[in-house]
Chain A
Amino acid sequence: MSGYTEGIITLLCINAIAAMGVSLLTGFTGIFTLGHAAYMALGAYTSAILTVQYGIHWLPAVLLGGGVAVIVAYGIGVPTLRLMGDYFAIASIGLGEAIRLILENWQSLTRGARGYPGIEPYTTLPVALSFFVIMGLCMFNLINSHYGRSFKACRDDYMAASLLGFHTARLRVLSLVISAFYCGVAGALLAGFLSFIQPIMFDMLKSTELTAVVVFGGLGSMVGTLVGTLIITLVTELFRPISQYRMLIYGAVLVIIMVLRPEGIMGGLDGRWLAKKVFRRKDHGGTA
């Protein structure tokens, strides 16, 4: 297998881990986010700085990357969970950009906008595959467990769930935190794959890509999320040489999917009904 093919599969694993995290939050808990690339950025920079500046071994560095993402998600993300629907999404955009800009401005720590080069390439194919398999198994376990059902209850009818005794607020927090961990780890692995990271790599375009992949694959279907990641990553990488056409195709695909089959690949009847319940147009609403 050529180095190039290995690289693509590694990238697939990385993107899949991040997508699974976002899928948990959006498809399964019904919280729509457009700022999760920031958690990837946090994971990436944490791991990069720890391995390059402090010589820490990559395994704890990657996990700490996820950890930092969790801490930030808990600290800043949680207050915004009060917001419902569209407003949380807008807040996630704001937070996503704010975190990225802080990383960009903190030049003494991160070298700012110029980027952070020379990261040890610790994300080899076996490493990426192992992380993917282990975290994938955990995720599938989670969504089929009692917690998974509770998340879905929050998503399907928040009011009813809370009246029925589900700790809806706590469940939303848990979901956000887990999704942040997954994105953080994915970011850390990305740093070890590219050997070079820049804040601009984790902008709103990247966040949108994560959410789009989940919708594309079908809300509420983890398998769908994986299939979506596979297709989008392959299209992105293979068309890199003709990059402006690549972006055009990517944009067109987003539009076409939404127009023709918004429930996504694995959506089916379930997905459509699901999306309607969760993301129905609300009045000019505020907080819950």
Chain B
Amino acid sequence: MRSSVATFLQQVINGLSLGSVYALIAVGYSLVYSILLFSNFAHGGFLVIGGYICYVALKTMGLNIWMASLLSLVGAGIAAVLTERIAYKPIRERTNVTLYLLIASMGMSIVIENIFVIVAGGRFRALPPVIPTHPVQIFNIATTSAFDLLSFVVALVALGCLQLFLSRTKWGLAIRAAACDLRTAGLMGVNVNLLIAIVFFTAGALAAIGGIFLSVRYTLYPQLGVITIKAFVAAVIGGLGSLPGAVVGSLILGLAEMLAAGFISSQMRDLVVFSLLVITLLIKPTGLFGKQMSEKI
């Protein structure tokens, strides 16, 4: 049936655009995991920080969207580095127990969210409509909004830049080395602390891009960061620590969510997400692209 195909295509487009936003968040997540081997649950906080900086820059400072975004990326990046310095570095230096880092990251995520609740108030804010949202037709079958196309393109560009950074620059090489083995990289002369700071800055900046898009699309509020749990699932499905995996996982997740919402029921959406997580872990815990390493005796 013609309309069925159209509906399907529409849901696919919806899914891809959602997935591209997830990808921005999941990649930052995976980047941190690949170096420090822990899930930074405070990642959602960087997203919210990015969103609020952009809002303030647009509304009260009256900057244009490019300046506001730049400010937001830098701000979130700095916040990420600060988080690392305050909460993770002291723990990281005393012990290599990742459980402590994890709980500390949960704590930081709660702290960041509630700082915004207190300072900005629990009310949600709408960003000024600086990003176009008018509908766009695709091959006359499906409709999407200019916004979705834009977010998809921006995500591609950002991830492309990241890929260039990792493969073509000296620090990119250092990061890839550290992802293999942090200690050895340190022994080979890499300044580990500076490396970690760069990684967190990058993760924060990526999260900020995601935050800007999410707040324009869905309004800005302190709990916006909870979407990070879905990005986390995407990263696991793609394989923790693998950046291409994070992207693929995100797209799969976005598609799965939209198709489930469209063809089964919208309430089942999150259930599908977490079921995918459990299934992935039961079948292939290291995900699609994760490295398979067995426990050494």
A-side residues, CB < 8 A to B, are 32, 79-80, 83-84, 86-87, 89-91, 93-95, 97-98, 101-102, 104-105, 159, 204-205, 208, 211-212, 215, 244-245, 247-248, 250-255, 258-259, 262, 272, 275-276, 279-288
Q: Give Cα A86 to B115, complex, Å.
A: 29
**Is B103 in contact with A258, judged by CB distance below 8 angstroms?**
yes
B240 located at the interface, meaning its Cβ lies under 8 Å from any Cβ of chain A in the complex: yes
Interface centre among B97, B286, B291, B297 (most CB of A within 10 A): B97
Q: Give Cα A119 to B161, complex, Å.
A: 56
**Is A259 in contact with B90, judged by CB distance below 8 angstroms?**
yes
**Is A255 in contact with B108, judged by CB distance below 8 angstroms?**
yes
**Is B278 in contact with A95, judged by CB distance below 8 angstroms?**
yes
In the assembled complex, how far is the CB of residue B249 from the closest CB belonging to chain A, in whole angstroms?
Answer: 13
In the assembled complex, how far is the CB of residue A203 from the closest CB belonging to chain B, in whole angstroms?
Answer: 10
B60 located at the interface, meaning its Cβ lies under 8 Å from any Cβ of chain A in the complex: no
B290 located at the interface, meaning its Cβ lies under 8 Å from any Cβ of chain A in the complex: yes
Of A98, A275, A276, A286, which one neighbours B274 at CB under 8 angstroms?
A98
In the assembled complex, how far is the CB of residue B88 from the closest CB belonging to chain A, in whole angstroms?
Answer: 9
**Is B282 in contact with A286, judged by CB distance below 8 angstroms?**
no
Q: Size class of B's contact patch?
A: 35 or more
Is the contact region of chain B dominated by helix, strand, or loop, or is it mixed?
helix
B117: chain A residues within 8 A (beta carbon): 244, 247
Given contacts A91-B278, A251-B110, A288-B295, contact A83 B99 (CB under 8 A): no
B131: chain A residues within 8 A (beta carbon): none
A91: chain B residues within 8 A (beta carbon): 277-278, 281-282
Given contacts A87-B281, A259-B91, contact A284 B290 (CB under 8 A): yes
Question: What are 10 A-B pairs at a CB distance below 8 A?
Answer: A83-B285, A86-B38, A89-B102, A98-B275, A102-B271, A244-B122, A248-B110, A254-B106, A258-B91, A286-B294
Of B97, B98, B107, B114, which one neighbours A255 at CB under 8 angstroms?
B107
**Is A248 in contact with B111, judged by CB distance below 8 angstroms?**
yes
B-side residues, CB < 8 A to A, are 37-39, 86-87, 90-91, 94-104, 106-111, 113-115, 117-118, 122, 229, 233, 236, 240-241, 267-268, 270-271, 274-275, 277-278, 281-282, 285-286, 290-297
**Is A98 in contact with B110, judged by CB distance below 8 angstroms?**
no
**Is B281 in contact with A83, judged by CB distance below 8 angstroms?**
yes
In the assembled complex, how far is the CB of residue A102 from the closest CB belonging to chain B, in whole angstroms?
Answer: 7
A-B residue pairs, 6 tightest by C-beta: A254-B107, A251-B110, A94-B277, A255-B107, A251-B111, A258-B104
A205: chain B residues within 8 A (beta carbon): 110
Of B91, B275, B291, which one neighbours A262 at CB under 8 angstroms?
B91
A255: chain B residues within 8 A (beta carbon): 86-87, 104, 107-108, 111
Q: Give Cα A94 to B282, complex, Å.
A: 11
Q: Give Cα A97 to B243, complex, Å.
A: 25
B101: chain A residues within 8 A (beta carbon): 258
Of B38, B293, B296, which one neighbours A286 at CB under 8 angstroms?
B293
Q: Give Cα A93 to B275, complex, Å.
A: 11
